[in-house]
């Protein structure tokens, strides 16, 4: 069984992706796996029985999906720099998956309710500039 370098911890100088190990056939399975992981992270936020706070809702949401962000960034940079018919076909398969994932998050009523609860209760003045932007 071959490992998918996109799903492994990056252990390279400066945490650069191991491009020499990444093959085109790694992208679609990696994106699907990272979407599942991202959905599970969002589900943990919405299932959290604790009162919504900036930390357990807003910051947790910002931290979710980081693996997917990295894989997508690698893929779309490759698509821009060295595209070919196979990469374009993969992009055609990946793009709707990413759109569906983003829509699922934006339209999640439980998540929206938690965010709204935080927004209504957090003291805007107590937030750092970075937190307020987030």
How many CB atoms sit inside 10 A of residue 65's CB?
A: 20
The single-letter DSSP state of residue 8 is S
- Per-residue pLDDT, 105: 96
What is residue 132's three-state secondary structure? helix
> Is 0.85 topped by the overall pTM?
yes
Q: Tell me which long-range contacts 5-12 makes (C-beta under 8 A, separation of at least 24).
A: 6/30, 6/71, 6/74, 7/33, 7/34, 7/67
The pLDDT tens digits along the chain (134 residues) read 568 999 998 888 888 888 889 999 999 999 999 999 999 999 999 999 999 999 999 999 999 999 999 999 999 999 999 999 999 999 999 999 999 999 999 999 999 999 999 988 877 667 888 887 87
Closest C-alpha among 37, 61, 69 to residue 116: 61
Distance CA 69, CA 122 (A): 28
């Amino acid at each position: 069984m071959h490992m998918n370098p996109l799903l492994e911890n990056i252990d390279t100088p400066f945490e650069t992706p191991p491009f020499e190990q990444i093959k085109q056939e790694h992208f679609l399975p990696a994106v699907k796996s990272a979407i599942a992981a991202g959905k599970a992270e969002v589900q943990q936020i919405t299932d959290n029985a604790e009162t919504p706070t900036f930390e357990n809702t807003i910051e947790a949401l910002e931290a979710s999906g980081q693996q997917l962000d990295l894989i997508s960034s690698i893929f779309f940079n490759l698509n821009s720099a060295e595209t070919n018919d196979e990469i374009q076909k993969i992009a055609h398969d990946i793009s709707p998956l990413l759109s569906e994932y983003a829509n699922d998050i934006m339209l999640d009523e439980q998540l929206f309710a938690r965010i709204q609860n935080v927004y209504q209760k957090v003291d805007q003045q107590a937030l750092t500039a970075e937190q307020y932007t987030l």
